[in-house]
Amino acid sequence: MDGDNDPLQFDLAASPGNMTIDSTSGKILWTPDAPGVYPVNVSVSDGNATSNQIFEIFVPGANRPPRITNTTLPDATVGVPYSFKVPAIDDDGDALTFILVNKTGNMALDSSTGVLNWTPEKSGTCSVSVKISDSETSIIYDFLITVRMASHNQLPMFTSKAVTASVLGLPYSYYAKASDQDDDVLSYTLITSPSGMAIDSLTGKIFWTPTTLGNFTVKIKASDGRGGEAFQEFTITVLNRTRPTIEFITPTEGQKVKTKITVSGIATKGTVDIVKIQLRVDSGEWIDMTGNSTWTYSLDTTKLQNGKHTLQARAFDGMDYSDIANRTMIVDNPKPAGKGFIPAFESGLALVGIFMALMTILRRRRSPFI
């Protein structure tokens, strides 16, 4: 601007080759054709005096993507913490960010520093992919890490026998057990399992309640944390639940019994084992028997009245009772012995004695001399 409001004239005293300026408005037009630093000197004059403005224009080059500087990575060892920095730089000096696209196990990557941390659990070759980005572009870095076994590590071995039968709707459990000659702490994992099944990683106990009949494959892995692994695979057959059954052997139906007798029978388990057998007499209290397949009970019939009595037995498997088995017996114990007289005869003598006494009293009342 000019304090006298004189008309101004703009000119480029120094400029890149294709730069132009409007002499009246001072507007500069330019299309840079190469990166670099370009000095510019603009002069303005009102016809009496001249003023200059000097500055530089920085033209950056095209953005260069990040690049990898080293493709050789150190090997890892099972059970030993592994750490390395992704070997990437940016020639423009841009800050880089790192993202794990494909990883193995417990691998973790710092998004700012590019430092990868990992403790390998088994030997082999692991594939890893990292996305590396600057503010404009990104690249994918795919690499392989070779994991070697720790020296002299002995593999664990399963020692438990799997439970291969289960009942629909009932809890299934199995303690998977493995041993390790190096005394390494083992962890357990389900590799293959039916829906709803779980395993305690420390104890190896499997929890499951089957909801469908059929055969189900289970595969368990035991790991020692140093690359040593053992596997156990088996099939569980899920069956419908059936109740136990029970029957009498002695006494036979309608048998006459006396004094002490042995009540016995046979119980057959259903799907699961029988827990107890019970007996009762004439719908009384249930009494636990001895045995759970063949069973017996000593019964003193002298405590019962002579005549017909009903025995009932049932088996219990922890959830369900069997149908009740019934058996009728006839108690026929001898009657208690008397004091040498037949009861009916003794009663007759008593009546005769009473009659004679009455007759004597009547005669005395009629006699005037008594």
pLDDT tens string 97-107:
999 999 888 89
Reference 216, options 233, 237, 200; nearest CA is: 237
Reference 140, options 108, 94, 98; nearest CA is: 98
Categorize the per-residue pLDDT at 342 as very low, low, confident or very high, splitting at 50, 70 and 90: very low
pLDDT at 237 over 90: yes
pLDDT of residue 134: 93
CATH class belonging to 67-148? mainly beta
Amino acid identity of 333?
A: N
d(CA 279, CA 290): 10
pLDDT of residue 369: 42
| Common-topology check for domains 67-148 and 157-239 | yes
pLDDT of residue 316: 95
Domains of the chain: which residue ranges? 9-59, 67-148, 157-239, 245-331
On average, the pLDDT of the chain sits at 88
Q: What superfamily does domain 245-331 belong to in CATH?
A: Immunoglobulins (2.60.40.10)
pLDDT tens string 29-41:
999 888 888 999 9
What's the CATH number for 157-239? Answer: 2.60.40.10
pLDDT at 276 over 80: yes
pLDDT at 343 over 50: no
pLDDT of residue 345: 45
